[in-house]
Amino acid sequence: MDNEETHIGEGSTAEESRSGYSVKYFYGDGYERVKKTENNKTTLYFFPEYEEEYTGTSLTATKVYYFLNGQRVAQRINNTLEYLH
């Protein structure tokens, strides 16, 4: 079984591979995740409240998160609003 993991640092990447499956994370200068690639899917993290998912070059989902006192209380994925308990 192929297993590789790289630990993150400021402005760096981390990658994990297992049996042909690979996921790669990209981190900004403040250690925040800015991008994730997983097979043919890419997720871009613009803010803690907003992210976009792409399959290839096509935008497949936009996600908006709503917070109250630091807790995520709702999320909108594309046009569907869901309240979280």
Which residues neighbour 19 within 8 Å (Cβ) at sequence distance 6 or greater?
Answer: 1, 2
pTM: 0.77
Position with higher pLDDT, 13 vs 37: 37
Whether the CB-CB separation of 59 and 51 falls below 8 Å is answered with no
For 34-56, write each residue's pLDDT tens digit: 999 998 899 999 999 999 999 99
Q: Rounded mean pLDDT of 48-70?
A: 96
Q: Rounded mean pLDDT of 58-78?
A: 97
Distance CA 6, CA 12 (A): 10
